Structure 1
């Protein structure tokens, strides 16, 4: 798929990105946007620098996340709250009603 990053066209495929990023250790996600590749979270700027071989100052993280989303990767913002863990039906009902979550309780004599 043809993607434009930093005003330069690139022909990228999902398999090429996976192969390129396979041996790259992810940098810490400290803020901004990140791309989930396999089971790893890579900062968008790191992905852009590796796949385009350009300086990180030449493109925005938005350009990279748009391209990676079009290729089928999941992109998120570090400021977004993490997805909530699924609750059991009883716990979900209790939370919706504003009551305490069911759990182990101790009865005092």
Structure 2
């Protein structure tokens, strides 16, 4: 499928994207993320891997649109768990 990212056309298939990302360690999930295989990747990381361009050259939205068209699931990163509350007590003693 033809996708345009950072004004450059790319002919990609879902299996090609999976191969390009294979072996890459996912960065911490922030912002919009894509589910590729069993892992969650930030879309900007995926964009850099598949286009070989600097991340400043494209937007996450461009990559998200392309990934959704290829059949990947994209969603905002899950919220980090809230820290456990500190039990009440006298901490000045």
CA distance in 1, matches of 2:39, 2:77: 14
Q: How far apart are residue 78 of structure 1 and its match?
A: 2.3
What do you get for the CA RMSD once the two structures are aligned? 1.2
Structure with larger Rg: 1
Q: 1:18 aligns to what?
A: 18
Report which structure shows greater RCO (CA 8 Å, sep ≥6): 2
Q: How many residues align?
A: 79
Normalising by the residue count of structure 1, what TM-score does the alignment of the two structures yield?
Answer: 0.70
Establish whether residue 69 from structure 1 lines up as the match of residue 72 from structure 2. Answer: no
In structure 1, the residue corresponding to 2:40 is in which secondary structure? strand
Cα deviation per residue 1:56-91 (whole Å; 9 max; x = unaligned)?
Answer: 0000000000000000000001278xxxxxxxxxxx
In structure 1, the residue corresponding to 2:34 is in which secondary structure? strand
CA distance in 2, matches of 1:55, 1:65: 16
Unaligned runs of 5+ in 2: 80-93
